[in-house]
């Protein structure tokens, strides 16, 4: 039997009241001292950044290097005669007697 909406609501209210009824916890001076003791044991927090923060910094530092690398490679590719894989395949198919795989790999 499916419980009715009223039944659900009544149960929810009962459980909410029970949940809210908690014994109060009062922290003591000793507890504060224990926390500060643990904190002091950890030492200074300065410079201890997360992995992602460090990674982000590294990425931004590498941006100019990456730009220069892209520019350099573009210039290199435009100056050197470039064969696409399609051209190479066509060459192999049409001139199999001259260009063998051995020749292609320079062996």
Partner 1 sequence: MVNDSNSSTDTEVVYQVVSGNVNAFEQLLKKYESHVVRIVNRHIPFDKVEEVAQDVFVRVYKSLPNFKKGGSFKQWLSTITVRTCYDFWRKHYKYREIPVSSLSEKHQVWLEEAMATRSSQSFDERDSHKEAKEILDWALDRVSPEDRMVLELVYLEGYSVKEAAELLGWSTVNVKVRSFRARKKLYKLIKEMA
Binding site for partner 1 (CB under 8 A): 3, 6-8, 10-19, 21-25, 27, 31-32, 34-36, 38-40, 42-50, 53
d(C-alpha 72, C-alpha 79), whole Å: 11
104, 92 contact by CB (below 8 A): yes
Shortest distance (Å) from residue 50 CB to partner 1: 5
- What tokens does 34 get? 């224990």
- What tokens does 8 get? 């659900």
99, 92 contact by CB (below 8 A): yes
Quick one: 8 or 95, whose CB is closer to partner 1?
8
Q: How many CB atoms lie within 10 A of CB 99?
A: 14
Shortest distance (Å) from residue 18 CB to partner 1: 4
Shortest distance (Å) from residue 93 CB to partner 1: 52
């Amino acid at each position: 039997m499916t419980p009715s909406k009223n039944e659900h609501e009544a149960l929810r209210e009962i459980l909410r009241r029970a949940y809210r009824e908690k014994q109060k916890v009062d922290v003591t001076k000793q507890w504060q001292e224990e926390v500060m003791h643990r904190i002091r044991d950890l030492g200074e927090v300065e410079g201890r950044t997360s992995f992602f923060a460090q990674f982000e910094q590294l990425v931004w530092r590498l941006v100019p290097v990456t730009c220069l690398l892209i520019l350099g490679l573009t210039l290199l590719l435009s100056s050197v005669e470039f064969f696409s894989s399609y051209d190479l395949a066509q060459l192999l198919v049409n001139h199999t007697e001259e260009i063998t795989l051995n020749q292609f790999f320079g062996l």
